[in-house]
């Protein structure tokens, strides 16, 4: 399934960028709404994903992501500036979608541009699918592509597993 797309003047089609990560899990016992609520709340990100820190909001107080949110955070050793470019909460007949354009300013050796997109959907028999994908451009992305082990895919897999655990725990309360 091709999930990432072109956002206006920012082409991030898979296969045409310097690095791409796609992860997926399917989890029983929670709903897309449960997962989405925990994903939007950046105040709890560090509790279930140890590769994120220092979330800061520019255009409002946060911590809940919403349309047109402008924020920054640290991940994979990079300070990332970001802006929400798509946010649709899941409904009975549609998956939840969240995407941000992220970047790190700098010269050619340090400039990084990413689109990080999430698809979260209810599936038959009480299961939910969590699918994040990230397309990256720039020398840091090329460097990440060449890491062994693949730190980007490993990190994103940790993120979605932590997100699923957090959603499961919040449903038990």
**Average pLDDT over the chain, rounded to whole?**
89
Query: Residue 119 has what pLDDT?
Result: 96
**Looking at per-residue confidence, does 171 or 2 come out higher?**
171
Tell whether the torsion through CA atoms of 43, 41, 22 and 159 is positive or negative: positive
Q: And the tokens for 22?
A: 């796609």
Omega prior to 149 cis, within 30 of 0: yes
d(CA 10, CA 54): 26
d(CA 49, CA 13): 26
Give me the mean pLDDT over the 39-54 stretch. Answer: 96
Query: Residue 172 has what pLDDT?
Result: 78
Residue 98 pLDDT > 50: yes
Query: Residue 59 has what pLDDT?
Result: 86
Give me the mean pLDDT over the 73-78 stretch. Answer: 87
Residue 171 pLDDT > 90: no
Q: What is the CATH number of domain 21-172?
A: 3.30.530.20
Tell whether the torsion through CA atoms of 51, 56, 58 and 60 is positive or negative: positive
Q: What is the pLDDT of residues 134-154, one digit of tens each?
A: 999 999 999 999 999 999 899
- Short-list 48, 23, 43, CA closest to 118: 23
Tell whether the torsion through CA atoms of 31, 160, 121 and 35 is positive or negative: positive
Query: Residue 109 has what pLDDT?
Result: 84
Residue 9 pLDDT > 60: no
Give me the mean pLDDT over the 113-136 stretch. Answer: 95
Residue 4 pLDDT > 80: no
Residue 7 pLDDT > 80: no
Q: Residue ranges per domain, the chain?
A: 21-172
Q: What is the pLDDT of residues 10-41, one digit of tens each?
A: 466 767 789 999 999 999 999 999 999 999 99
Q: By percentage, how much of the chain surpasses pLDDT 70?
A: 92
């Amino acid at each position: 399934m091709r999930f990432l797309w072109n956002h206006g003047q920012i082409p991030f089609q898979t296969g045409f960028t310097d690095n791409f990560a796609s992860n997926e899990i399917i989890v029983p016992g929670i709903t897309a709404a449960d997962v989405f609520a925990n994903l939007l709340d950046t105040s709890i990100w560090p509790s279930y994903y140890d590769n994120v820190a220092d979330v800061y909001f520019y255009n409002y107080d946060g911590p809940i992501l919403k349309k047109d949110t402008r924020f920054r955070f640290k991940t994979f050793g990079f300070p990332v500036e970001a802006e929400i470019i798509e946010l649709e909460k899941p409904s009975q007949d549609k998956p939840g979608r969240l995407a941000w354009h992220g970047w790190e300013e700098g010269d050619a050796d340090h400039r990084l541009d990413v689109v990080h997109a999430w698809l979260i959907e209810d599936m038959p028999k009480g299961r939910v699918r969590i699918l994040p994908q990230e397309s990256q451009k720039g020398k840091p992305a090329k460097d990440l592509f060449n890491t062994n082990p693949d730190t980007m895919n490993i990190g994103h897999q940790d993120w979605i597993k932590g997100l699923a655990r957090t959603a499961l725990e919040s449903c038990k309360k």
